[in-house]
A and B are shown apart, each in its own frame.
Chain A
Amino acid sequence: MNVKSIPISAWVGIVGIAIAVLCAIFAPLIAPFGEREIVGEIWLPAGGDFVLGTDNLGRDLLSRLIYGARTTIFVALAATVLSFALGMILSFAAAVMGGFVDQLFSRFNDLMMAIPTLIFALVVLAVLPQYLWVLILVMAVLDSTRVFRIGRAVALDVAVMEFVEAARLRGEGSLWIIFREILPNTLSPLLAEFGLRFAFSILFLSTLSFLGLGIQPPAADWGGMVKDNKDGIIFGISAALVPGAAIATLAICVNLVVDWLMKRTSSLKGGRGDA
């Protein structure tokens, strides 16, 4: 891969993601104040000691934004990784085994997808206790339906190719076929899909937190920060817009990279390029 061949838009995305990840990793070193530390009056305007002002309880907005990057990225990434592991294992199993297993998994997946994700999440989260791992698990399971569908389609395409047939005739087991034959050949479209799902996870997590069902206070997370500060909007205080802009920026950056990855894979495969 040539570094020069990366378009500007993808660079913007990569830099944006890198900044967010650095904030997340080194949060305690970068943040000027503590995550839960009340440092001043409520809703102070930006400038002075507090670069972005303070929030509804008088906590430093910039510090919470930096700590929030940690929670938001960690939870969204965990959910995406989990959903990919789940969706890909199940979809590859369905594609390789075929027959009854395929039918069972696919029909159940159709049923799951018949309910809108947000509505499903609301129903499920109404019953489950509010723990972080529960939230990650719910997000992962709901998202894995999409991964399953794409994974199965891609795997089916590859599963009928000659080299898979050859491996089968050689006497390789299903696990070998999944991990050594199909996975390497489906990696590039799935990588683009991973980015897409990650962007979606960030938005979904933020939406849930905004509705008060995601990450619980006092932990800082971007969606929850919008919820905390939303009452200020009516007084012309823009504290709620800052974390909202952070979510939007991160999602745009991820999408820019995905856009480039998709274009790259489609040109590699000799696809039509267009459409």
Chain B
Amino acid sequence: MGSGPITGPVLTEGTARDLGAQSADLAGVPAKPHPTDSAEIGGTSWRRFVFRRPLAALILKRLGLSIGLLFAVSLMIFGGVEALPGDFATTYLGQSATPQAVENIRKDLGLDRPWSERYLSWLGGAVKGDFGTSWASKQSVSEQIAKRLGNSLFLAFFAALISVPLAVGLGMLAVQFRNRMPDKIINVISLAAISLPEFFIGYLLIMVFAVELGVATFPATVYDTMTLAERLSAIALPVATLVLVVLAHMMRMTRAAILNVMSSAYIETAELKGLGTFRIIARHAAPNAVAPVINVIALNLAYLVVGVVVVEVVFVYPGMGQYMVDAVTVRDMPVVQACGLIFAAFYIFLNMAADILAILANPRLRHPR
């Protein structure tokens, strides 16, 4: 097999972008000492701020970009859905509904108002944390989400806690034994793991650990009165599933990121200079590998937040993902939109965190094109 090429699509993009950023920045630095200066963003006070605190300005800009992106996403989740063919009321009631019933339900749900008005009132509520009431249960969406978001984050947090150190460690191991047996084994196993659907891993674990061996609990229900230990034992299987799902991706990407650094010219120079392996890794490789590895971790955490959807359905775990899937099945739009927005917000936020951490860790990224 040799050292496998990068198989994840995210990865190829990631390295391509990194290379792009590096070359652009090599070309850009001498020509433009303060590239942000030339970008016409605001008045003179902003320029002075950019000049004095280029790093803070860059981070602020990235933050602003994310917030802008979030608004665009909210518009897309609400407006885009609105623009699609098909009428909520008709699909909601089914094909055989009488026109009168459709009219009634439209009025009931406030669908007779123009969509821009509804969007603004929805967005206004969403900013304050009020997502309206569910069509199906007539309960407050925000209350339900408040209960379930915590559960989902609890799950994702423990999955991250286990998978991140494990993935980085295994990735480094694979680099250490590059093209030798441990690397090949890790490569083949991770290639297989990438191809396994989440629900298959989930049911396989249930079959083995809950049904055959009887050491784990299924379904993974949690409720308010449970102690921490009970909760942890309830989420053991879902966490294991999530870990297995992200581990392979994260490990392959870590391996590629470190290999990328290790194959660069300055490492070769250090080797030729006669430095010891440890010194090369600690002084030359690690500082340069931190940024891509952090990026990999943040990207996979973002993936984790979405990965909980399927895992929650498999394990009947009362989290956001299951709430959303149930709502989609009965076409309960307020719930779907609220969940969609929150998931997207987490995703955007984690991607932003990845970018900012990468900028902090790698000074070369501070001079954008």
Contacts and interface: CB of A to CB of B under 8 A. Distances in A.
A29 interface: no
Contacts of B206: 233-234
Interface residues of A, number: 62
A113 to B, nearest CB: 10
Contacts of A203: 195, 197
A114 B191 contact: no
Interface string A124-152: 11111100000000000000001001100
Of A117, A122, A206, A254, most B-chain CB atoms within 10 Å: A122
B114 interface: no
Nearest to B260: A275
B84 A233 contact: no
Given A119-B340, A248-B200, A259 B191 contact: yes
B13 A248 contact: no
The main secondary structure of chain B at its interface with chain A is helix
Interface string B194-230: 1111111001101100111000001000000000000
Contacts of B172: none
A76 interface: no
The main secondary structure of chain A at its interface with chain B is helix
B324 A122 contact: yes
B143 to A, nearest CB: 21
A65 interface: no
A266 interface: yes
A255 B7 contact: yes
A125 B328 CA distance: 7
A115 interface: yes
Interface in B1-29: 1-7, 9, 12-13, 15-16
B93 interface: no
Interface in B214-262: 218, 256, 259-260
Interface in A146-205: 146, 149-150, 153, 193, 196-197, 199-200, 203
Contact of B5 (A123, A197, A256, A262): A262
Contact of A255 (B191, B207, B212, B325): B191
Contacts of A272: 263
Nearest to B335: A126
Given A124-B84, A199-B195, A211-B325, A241 B203 contact: yes
B259 A236 contact: no
B329 interface: yes
B336 A122 contact: yes
B347 A244 contact: no
B69 interface: yes
Given A111-B72, A211-B325, A274-B3, A238 B333 contact: no
Interface in B306-323: 306, 309-310, 313-314
B77 interface: yes
Contacts of B15: 275
Of A9, A111, A114, most B-chain CB atoms within 10 Å: A114
A118 interface: yes
Interface string B74-101: 0011001100111010010000000000
A257 to B, nearest CB: 11
A252 interface: yes
Contacts of A122: 309, 324-325, 328, 336, 340
Nearest to A110: B69
Given A111-B69, A122-B328, A123-B337, A236 B207 contact: yes
A244 to B, nearest CB: 4
Nearest to B328: A126
A114 B302 CA distance: 11
Please tell me the size bucket of the interface on B.
35 or more
A226 B327 contact: no
Contact of A210 (B76, B88, B192, B310): B310
A116 interface: yes
A272 B3 CA distance: 12
Contact of B331 (A118, A126, A210, A244): A126
B86 A128 contact: yes
Contacts of B210: 234
Contacts of A230: 199, 203, 314
B259 A119 contact: no
Given A115-B344, A258-B7, A275-B263, A126 B12 contact: no
A196 to B, nearest CB: 6
B73 interface: yes
Interface in B276-333: 302-303, 305-306, 309-310, 313-314, 324-325, 327-329, 331-333
A116 to B, nearest CB: 4
B196 A114 contact: no
A98 interface: no
Interface of B: 1-7, 9, 12-13, 15-16, 69, 72-73, 76-77, 80-81, 84-86, 88, 91, 178, 188, 191-192, 194-200, 203-204, 206-207, 210-212, 218, 256, 259-260, 263, 302-303, 305-306, 309-310, 313-314, 324-325, 327-329, 331-333, 336-337, 339-340, 343-344, 347-348, 351
> Which 8 pairs across A and B sit closest by C-beta, in order of nearness?
A244-B200, A251-B195, A262-B5, A116-B306, A252-B195, A126-B328, A123-B340, A275-B259
